[in-house]
Structures are given as C-alpha cells and as structure tokens.
C-alpha cells in the first residue's frame, strides 16, 4: 500500500524550508548549518533501514539545506557508503543547549524541534513510496531520545507529535539487513567457498594482530610502553587459552590508565590496544571512541547520565578513551562529572565482556582522580607511563614526516633540525607539546618551503622536494630582531635630570 507522504524532491525542499524557517523564527537561524548537518545524518541513518538506496534518495538528500545555506552535492556511491556507516543516533550538542535554554525560559522550542524532525523524516522515509517498520522504529527512537532530554532538563510539556508507527506501509527488510556479510561466498565458477575462507575475506579490512604489533613497534620511543603492551597481550592470550581448557583464571581488569604530557602518543597507543584486543577476541569490534569532559557532562541532573550513555553505546565492542579524565572529579561534590563517573562504572560492570575504558591525563591529577572513587581504584590498576620525547626522538618523528610526505632534508637542514629539536627538548617548559610540536614545526616548514619554491622560475622535482635550512626558520622574525638590534639607540631628550633620591640611613649595628 503506497504511502501518502511521498513528495517530489522540489516539493520536499519547500516543505523542508517551511519547517526550518518556522523553527528559526522561534529558535535561532545561526543553527542552520548544524541543523542541516544533523538532518542529513538522520536521513542517512533512516535510509540505512530502508529497502534500498537509489537515485531518488540522492535527489532528496540534495534538498536538505536551509535558506541561505549551500546545496549539497551527493552522488549515489558516496550516499550509499555514508548510509552504511551511519549507525548510532547521537543527539546534537545544540539540542542539549536548546533544551537547557527552554527550561530556564519556560519555553518549548526543543519540543517543537522534535515534531519538526518527525515530519521531515517521514517525508524522507517515503521517498521510495514506502515507510518500512525499521524506518518508523528509527524515527521513534530518535524522537524518544530527544524527548528524554527535554523531560530530564525540565522543559514544559507540549502537544505530542505524530506516531511514525501509524504510517508503516511495508515490512520489507532494511538495506543493512539485506547487505549483511554472508557466512559463505561463491567462487567465480559458482562453487561455494569454504566457510573459513569466506570469513577470512570478510575480516581482511581489519589489521591482524601481527600488523598491529608491528605498527606499535614502529612508534618512535615509548620502549617501556611497548614492553607493557606486549606483556599485557601475552597475559590476555594465555588467559583465554586457560579458559578454553577449563583451567582457573585469576580475576583481572583490562581497563587502563595512561599518564603523561600531551603529544606523547597516548591516543595512538589506545587505538592500537583497541585493535589488538579485537584481534585476540577480547572485543567484538575494536573501534576507539575518544571523549573528554565536554562529551560526557551536561548542565542538569539526569542529562549527564544520558549523554554519557550515548558515548558508551557508541564504544561498545571497543575502547572508550577519556582524555583529561581527572576533570570529571575536579568540580566538587555537586559537580555533574561525578554522575558521569558513576554511569561509566556501571557500564564497565554491565558490559564487562565487550567494553574497555582507558582514562588518560597528566600524572599528578590522574593519581588523584583514580583515588577519588573506590570503584575507580578497583577497576583501574594498570598504569602506562608515557615520557616526554627527547631531542633525538623528536628529530626521528620529524624525519619520518618529511619522508612520508616526499620532502628531502639537505645536509645543512638536517643539522639545523637536529640542533633545533635538541634545544626544544632541553629548554622545554610546561607547555611542551612533544609530538604535537613536531607536527606544528613540520607544517610551518611546508609553508616556508612552498613560499621559497614559488619564487623560483621553473622549479623541478628536486626543488619541490628539497628542504633547506631557511625553510626551518622564521626569517621574518629573525630579520625584525636583527633590525632592532642594529638600530641606533634613540638620542636622550633635552629634559632636566630628576634629582637623586636621598639615600636611606644605614641601620645602627
């Protein structure tokens, strides 16, 4: 039975503008870019649950833009790819702010937004003249999550929106369900491949345990960290083997604390650990979800738990990496960061078989953070210390970036760079950025080298690759400093000298 929600792309765009214009009148038209991006993500999540994606979906996707915003330019291949990758619905940050503002003002703009979202998504679901049950369930899930934010924030009640399940016209399997990997595949001759071979092909996209360990080994420095990771992986592998042979295994927590200054490779190692855990079967997916306090904590009681749960949900099967985790416990007894901590601790228990949490930050604050809650102390007992990179290691990282990007250091430039990074390390301050400083230095070098090469009459390949000493230094700053040093001192003005202050009498001995 065809749906009554189907419209042409042109008609849909008029409907989209009517809805968003009405929202901006009571909300804020500065949200246009964020709202369009959010609506597009919702459309992708919705269509991943449709019966299929075709050119009509592309035409509709290219109509999702507010007045005054640029028109999208989707193509079928990248729309299909994006839909396959859009899985978890995440309430946008602007909606949290909107709900908080409504609660303070006694308004209901956020609830109007939910009704608007329902209408627009129903039109988008009907693009193929059907609204599947999976699509209606997705719309309902989106609106339920947003409504929960309104309820916990204290936004006043408003009239209910449409129920998407009332408009279902098809029970066809979703696009995702129809394109799930099969347990076996056929050869070119029509024969079925062995199940193990088909499974191996489906896992080709994920790096193997050996590849990940090789990537870990290739990291500059971090010798103790590498050793600790190897020990941990051996321990976990043997533990799993003992379980398979029904031998007793002592209790063990796989959650970790990474301590060290910024730019020391904590996030990179966390990503590798996540993949390694997945490769040996401890985790089902192996993705890394990186958050900080702003990604977990909201402004009202109840909101933080919901926001934290969303981050946890996206990390299930992988690693939740919390950077500067100490900020969650630094706000006093009534700070909402403590609500985030309790929510995370509960999730670590509820999902202990498929969630690893890594907390990271400076050494001192992290020790205080772990000791601030007995639950944290019992679950986080593995510490990995990330030292600052020395001058030689910084130079190795810089040299690697140059090689990877097709730049060749001259002998003089090599010598100048070595001296620079040794000095950078020896004179480091509390703002020392380690690997981040190397990245900044490299990017600055690329700009200076490009400016120099652009002045050449007919640069060749070697000119485009060559890095000279002047590409490593800010010549403009040096010239300004030199000019200031060489400038004659200003002549003294013809003003009468001030009388000397009388000397203080010496104290008697």
Contact between 285 and 278 under an 8 Å Cβ cutoff? The reply is yes
For tokens 């330019």, the residue is: 73
Residues of the chain with CATH 3.40.50.300: 209-386
The CB density around residue 105, as the number of other CB atoms within 10 Å, is 11
Q: Which residues are CB-neighbours of 211 under 8 A, at least 6 positions away?
A: none
Prediction pTM value: 0.55
The values of phi and psi at residue 288, to 5°, are -110, 125
> Could you list the pLDDT tens digit for every one of the 509 residues in the chain?
567 888 899 999 999 998 888 878 776 777 888 899 999 999 999 988 877 788 889 999 999 999 989 999 998 888 887 887 766 778 888 888 888 888 888 988 899 999 999 999 999 999 888 888 888 888 998 998 899 888 888 899 888 888 888 888 755 544 444 444 444 444 444 444 444 444 444 444 677 888 899 989 989 889 999 999 999 899 888 888 888 888 887 778 889 999 998 889 999 999 999 999 988 888 888 899 998 888 888 766 667 888 888 889 889 999 999 999 999 887 666 678 888 899 999 999 888 888 999 999 988 899 889 988 888 988 898 899 999 999 999 999 999 999 989 999 999 999 999 999 999 999 888 778 888 889 889 989 999 999 999 998 888 999 999 999 999 886 555 445 445 554 554 444 443 333 333 333 333 33
Query: Using CA atoms, how far apart are residues 411 and 346, in angstroms rounded to an integer?
Result: 57
The listed CATH number (3.40.640.10, 3.40.50.300, 3.30.300.130, 3.40.50.11030) that belongs to domain 209-386: 3.40.50.300
Q: How far apart are CA 47 and CA 64, in angstroms?
A: 14
Task: Please provide the distance, in angstroms rounded to a whole number, between the alpha carbons at the two ends of the chain.
Answer: 110
Which residues, in sequence order, are CB contacts of 132 under 8 Å at separation 6+?
A: 49, 50, 51, 125, 168, 169, 170, 171, 172, 174
Both tokens of 395, joined, read 């130079």
pLDDT in tens, 277-331: 988 888 888 899 998 888 888 766 667 888 888 889 889 999 999 999 999 887 6
The ranges of the chain annotated as CATH 1.10.8.60 are 391-473
Nearest to 269 by CA among 231, 212, 311: 212
Vertex 407: Cα angle to 404 and 411 (nearest 5): 120
Q: Provide the strand spans (E) within 333-459.
A: 356-361, 383-386, 408-409
Per-residue pLDDT reduced to its tens digit, 418-451 = 999 999 999 888 778 888 889 889 989 999 999 9
Architecture of domain 391-473: Orthogonal Bundle (1.10)
What are the beta bridge partners of residue 88? none
Residue 449: which residues within 8 A CB-CB, separation 6 or more?
407, 466, 467, 468, 471
* 386 three-state secondary structure: strand
């Amino acid at each position: 039975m065809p749906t009554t929600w189907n419209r042409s792309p042109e008609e849909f765009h008029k409907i989209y503008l009517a809805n968003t214009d009405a929202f901006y009148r009571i909300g804020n038209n500065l949200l246009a870019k964020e709202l369009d991006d959010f609506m597009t993500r919702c459309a992708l999540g919705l269509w991943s649950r449709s019966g299929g994606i075709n050119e009509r979906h592309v035409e509709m996707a290219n109509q999702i833009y507010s007045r005054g915003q640029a028109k999208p330019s989707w193509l079928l291949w990248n729309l299909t790819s994006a839909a396959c990758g859009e899985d978890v619905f995440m309430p946008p940050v602007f909606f949290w702010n909107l709900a908080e503002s409504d609660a303070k003002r006694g308004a209901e703009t956020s609830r109007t937004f939910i009704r608007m979202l329902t209408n627009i998504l129903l039109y988008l679901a009907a693009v193929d003249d059907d609204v599947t049950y999976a699509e209606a369930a997705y719309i309902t899930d989106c609106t339920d999550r947003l409504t929960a934010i309104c309820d916990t924030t204290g936004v006043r009640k408003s009239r209910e929106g449409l129920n998407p399940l009332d408009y279902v016209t098809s029970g066809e399997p979703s696009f995702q369900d129809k394109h799930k990997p099969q347990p076996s595949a056929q050869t070119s001759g029509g024969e079925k491949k062995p199940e193990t071979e088909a499974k191996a092909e489906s896992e080709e996209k994920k790096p193997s345990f050996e590849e990940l360990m090789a990537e870990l080994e290739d990291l500059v420095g971090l010798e103790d960290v590498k050793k600790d990771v190897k020990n941990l992986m051996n321990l976990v592998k043997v533990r799993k083997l003992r379980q398979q042979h029904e031998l007793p295994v002592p209790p063990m927590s796989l959650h970790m604390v990474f301590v060290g200054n910024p730019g020391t490779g904590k996030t990179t190692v966390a990503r590798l650990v996540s993949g390694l855990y997945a490769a040996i079967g401890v985790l089902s997916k192996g993705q890394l979800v990186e958050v900080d306090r702003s990604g977990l904590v909201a402004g009202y009681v109840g909101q933080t738990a919901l926001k934290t749960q969303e981050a946890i949900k996206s990390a299930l099967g992988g690693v939740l990496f919390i950077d500067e985790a100490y900020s969650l416990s630094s706000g006093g007894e009534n700070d909402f960061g403590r609500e985030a901590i309790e929510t995370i601790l509960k999730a670590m228990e509820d999902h202990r078989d498929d969630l690893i949490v890594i907390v990271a930050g400076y050494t001192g604050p992290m020790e205080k953070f772990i000791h601030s809650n007995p639950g944290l102390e019992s679950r986080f007992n593995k510490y990995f210390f990330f030292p600052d990179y020395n001058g030689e290691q910084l130079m190795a990282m810089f040299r690697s970036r140059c090689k990877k990007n097709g730049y060749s250091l001259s002998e003089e430039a090599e010598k100048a760079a070595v001296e620079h990074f040794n000095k950078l390390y020896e004179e480091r301050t509390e703002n020392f950025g380690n690997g981040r400083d190397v990245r900044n230095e490299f990017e600055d070098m690329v700009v200076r080298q490009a400016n120099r090469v652009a002045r050449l009459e007919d640069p060749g390949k070697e000119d485009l690759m060559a890095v000279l000493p002047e590409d490593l230094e800010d010549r403009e700053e040096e010239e300004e400093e030199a000019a200031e040093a060489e400038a004659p001192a200003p002549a003294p003005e013809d003003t009468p000298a001030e009388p000397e202050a009388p000397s203080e009498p010496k104290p008697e001995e």
